[in-house]
Chains A and B, each alone.
Chain A
Amino acid sequence: MSGEVLYEVRNLTKRYGAVVALDDASMKLHAGEIVGLVGDNGAGKSTLVKCLSGAHQPTSGQILLDDVERNWHSPHDAIQAGVETLYQDSGLAPHLSVSANVFLGRELVKPGILGKMGFLSQKQMDVQAHRDLEEVGIAVPASGRSVSQLSGGQRQAVAIGRAVAWASKVIILDEPTNHLGARQAGEVLNVMLEAKAKGLGVIFISHTLPHVLQVTDRVVVLRLGKVVKDAPTSEFDAESLLGTITGLKIG
């Protein structure tokens, strides 16, 4: 099912002062693959995500996209290269409308001189945002509504739809099913499968192990900043995965 290697980290280390948050971690993500990234609190998941998304720069090690080494200086660099990241609980600006959020950072502008001055083509964005979200299987209320008026599940759906609509290569989802009901979480998992079918690489960070086992192709387990296991999902069940995460071998 998986194509060529899309996104790769080699021997990535990140230190914050004396603290080693990520210690010589390596992993690969293929096109059309969902990789689960799991680990206990403080295992280094968030640090790895921040390095992958360009929010932080690693102390040492390499990040490769399409076999080319990349040095992300900011999230902007990663986004430009086709790597979208959805952060835990903070992907959207609540005071802005749905379409303003979908187009945040890549607004459509009016043609001609008005566009050069940054004047927005709001109607076009409203229409297109609605279409983009529907395309990835998300039913959203009117594009013009402010995000603060949406339910938690709807917000998450918009955030994920936005990431899937824009990503051309990789999507990184940090705890996307947190605080969601079973039905809404199911919708989110479906969007991930949709993204996979589009040939994108998906990195799925979660504490909810049943979700991880349900949709991923491979699982990477982090413990104390190190990659302790990288194996096909079929090799795990809930119990053995939990054992690997905590380091307490069961069976």
Chain B
Amino acid sequence: MATTETHSPNPAGTQVVVASSRFKTLISNQQFILLIVWILMVIGFSLINHIFFSVGVAENILLDWAPLVLIAVGELIVIISGGIDLSVGAIVGFTGVISAFAMRSLYEGSLAEQPYLVLAIGVLVCVIVGLLVGLINSLLINYAKLVPFIATLVTLGACSGMALVFTKGAPVMGGPREAIALSPAWIGPFSRPVLIVVVVVLILWAFVHKARFGRYTFAIGSNSFAARAAGINVKRHVTKVYMLSGLMAGLAGFFFYLRLGSGAPTSGLGNELDAIAAVVIGGAALTGGVGRVSGTVLGALILTTVTSGLIISGVDPQWKRVVVAALIAIAATLQALRKTEGGAS
């Protein structure tokens, strides 16, 4: 009725507009750009060294990618809600250590004959400890009124510190040896734990983009005042968001345990920065309200591909940091450019 300005009376002209705007949407679609970037990377690294294009390398990339994507999707949800979670890396090490202690005492004690039950309990311990740290984060934010940066910096320090104190810095061994055996059951380049990670990420994608949980998360990150005015219980939702992030970090903690066969206090060191990098490269805005799970998945894939590619190309892998920094700069610039054009994600 009054949308007259967009309805051109000239059908041919309209068609041209539609076609060009479709092209514009495609090139301004961050996921599409990321996919192209990733494919170019794979081609480039394969040209430098043909070994790169092999199942073995793909396996390794996926093994690095799986725990990172777990943490990064949790981080993404926090960032969409307008917050930040610096504690995820520390939670990885902390949950790994606590569950390693639990599994060792069970395995050396009453459950020596049931290694898989011990491992299941290990997962449960990681999940519970992760949820608890997330709960503490949300209490600090909702009730102690700390900004998320400070609240999660507090738990980062507490968790990484305790992990080192409890273990005196050494990995916690003595759990079921079956842990190592779980990984090399490959379906193509996917090991069983990696497949589970893929399923977890798909479930989260559905809840973030198709369900009320995600709708509220975006609403709070976009305008928390409006969300509250619409009757959303913002504090309760923020609690869910940080607990979910803690849970994901706990799962990543268990993933590292499976890979290493021990609980290492330093296993998640700096992971929060990789997770934030994956989220930003994936097109999310640190100001909240914007982000896609698919973007973060690709962001994490690009990060791990760069690392493997540089090693195989014979470049000092420390260059990874520089490459990642450049990627973040490009992603953030694209984000800013799109914002000034007035279009949202």
Chain A interface (Cβ < 8 Å from any Cβ of B) = 53, 55, 74-76, 79-80, 85, 87, 90-96, 100-101, 104-107, 109, 117-120, 122, 134, 139-142, 146, 148-149
Q: Determine the chain B residues whose CB is within 8 A of the CB of A118 once the complex forms.
A: 207, 211-213
Q: Determine the chain A residues whose CB is within 8 A of the CB of B211 once the complex forms.
A: 117-120
- What's the A-B contact tally at a CB cutoff of 8 Å? 100
User: How far does the alpha carbon of A146 sit from the alpha carbon of B222 in the complex, in Å?
Assistant: 11
**CB contact between B223 and one of A85, A90, A107, A122 (< 8 Å): that residue:** A90
Q: A104-B232, A105-B230 are in contact. List 16 more A-B contacts (CB 8 A).
A: A75-B231, A87-B226, A91-B229, A92-B226, A93-B226, A94-B222, A94-B289, A96-B218, A100-B218, A105-B232, A118-B212, A119-B212, A122-B210, A146-B345, A148-B342, A149-B342
Contact A55 B212 (CB under 8 A): no
**CB-based nearest A residue for B220:** A93
Q: Is B3 an interface residue (CB 8 A)?
A: yes
A–B Cβ pairs within 8 angstroms, 14 of them: A74-B231, A75-B230, A85-B229, A90-B225, A91-B226, A91-B229, A93-B222, A94-B223, A95-B345, A96-B218, A104-B219, A109-B212, A139-B3, A140-B3
Q: Is B19 an interface residue (CB 8 A)?
A: no
Contact B215 A141 (CB under 8 A): no
Contact B233 A76 (CB under 8 A): yes
Chain B interface (Cβ < 8 Å from any Cβ of A) = 1-3, 6, 206-207, 210-213, 215, 218-219, 221-223, 225-233, 289-290, 342-345
**CB-based nearest B residue for A139:** B2
Q: Determine the chain A residues whose CB is within 8 A of the CB of B225 once the complex forms.
A: 87, 90
Tell me the minimal C-beta distance from B243 to chain A in angstroms: 16
User: How far does the alpha carbon of A80 sit from the alpha carbon of B290 in the complex, in Å?
Assistant: 29
Tell me the minimal C-beta distance from B8 to chain A in angstroms: 15
**CB-based nearest B residue for A79:** B231
Contact A55 B219 (CB under 8 A): no
Contact B226 A149 (CB under 8 A): no
- Which residue, A91, A93, A100, A107, has most C-beta atoms of chain B within 10 A? A93
Contact A149 B219 (CB under 8 A): no
User: How far does the alpha carbon of A48 sit from the alpha carbon of B207 in the complex, in Å?
Assistant: 38
Q: Determine the chain B residues whose CB is within 8 A of the CB of A94 once the complex forms.
A: 222-223, 289, 344
User: How far does the alpha carbon of A185 sit from the alpha carbon of B236 in the complex, in Å?
Assistant: 37
Contact A76 B210 (CB under 8 A): no
Tell me the minimal C-beta distance from B343 to chain A in angstroms: 7
User: How far does the alpha carbon of A91 sit from the alpha carbon of B223 in the complex, in Å?
Assistant: 9
Contact B215 A100 (CB under 8 A): yes
**CB contact between A96 and one of B3, B210, B222 (< 8 Å): that residue:** B222
Q: Determine the chain A residues whose CB is within 8 A of the CB of B231 once the complex forms.
A: 74-76, 79-80, 105-106
Contact B290 A95 (CB under 8 A): yes
Q: Determine the chain B residues whose CB is within 8 A of the CB of A119 once the complex forms.
A: 206, 210-212
Contact B343 A95 (CB under 8 A): no
Tell me the minimal C-beta distance from A224 to chain B in angstroms: 27
User: How far does the alpha carbon of A104 sit from the alpha carbon of B234 in the complex, in Å?
Assistant: 13
Tell me the minimal C-beta distance from B234 to chain A in angstroms: 10
Contact A93 B289 (CB under 8 A): yes
Q: Determine the chain A residues whose CB is within 8 A of the CB of B223 once the complex forms.
A: 90, 92-94
User: How far does the alpha carbon of A140 sit from the alpha carbon of B206 in the complex, in Å?
Assistant: 29
User: How far does the alpha carbon of A55 sit from the alpha carbon of B228 in the complex, in Å?
Assistant: 9
Q: Determine the chain A residues whose CB is within 8 A of the CB of B222 once the complex forms.
A: 93-96
Contact A95 B226 (CB under 8 A): no
Contact A95 B212 (CB under 8 A): no
